[in-house]
Amino acid sequence: MIWNNLSAAPFGVGTIVVQGKEFNSEQVTATIKEVIQIVESTLTEAEYSHAKVAGWNASIIEACIAKLKEISKDYKYIVTCAILQNKGAGFYVGSQVYWDNQNDGSASYKHESKSLTAIVNVFALRIN
């Protein structure tokens, strides 16, 4: 299965081809989780603070990009991160892409704590 439809696949499921090898999205999801763990102690124990969210968000995105570049420089990466306060409100976000299903892909990771939820999405677009 290629990472071409997140709505039909669970978080982080799929494969993508990198330099003739299959690149498992689980590796990208694990990278996202690794980055989340870098700031997880802050996110897990912290109460949602509007003043701190921008910093947390920037740290997560920058760390994701740095780690993803270590995996492969054959891609342009787009990383999004939404940090939401857990107040019982619903949240829905969608995306649509027009890309090469054989070479491009995406993966997602969701982190939940008592007071907040962080959702990280990665889109990988092959440049070679």
pLDDT recorded at residue 41 = 63
CATH homologous superfamily, domain 25-126: Tctex-1 (3.30.1140.40)
Helix H or strand E segment including 27: helix 25-45
CA–CA distance, 116 with 55 (Å, rounded to integer): 15
Residue labelled with tokens 């694990």: 30
Domain spans, the chain = 25-126
pLDDT digits (tens, 9 = 90+) for 7-65: 333 344 444 444 445 555 777 777 777 877 776 766 777 789 999 999 989 988 998 89
Cβ-proximal residues to 66 (8 Å cutoff; 6+ apart), any chain: none
Predicted TM-score of the model (pTM)? 0.75
The CB density around residue 57, as the number of other CB atoms within 10 Å, is 17
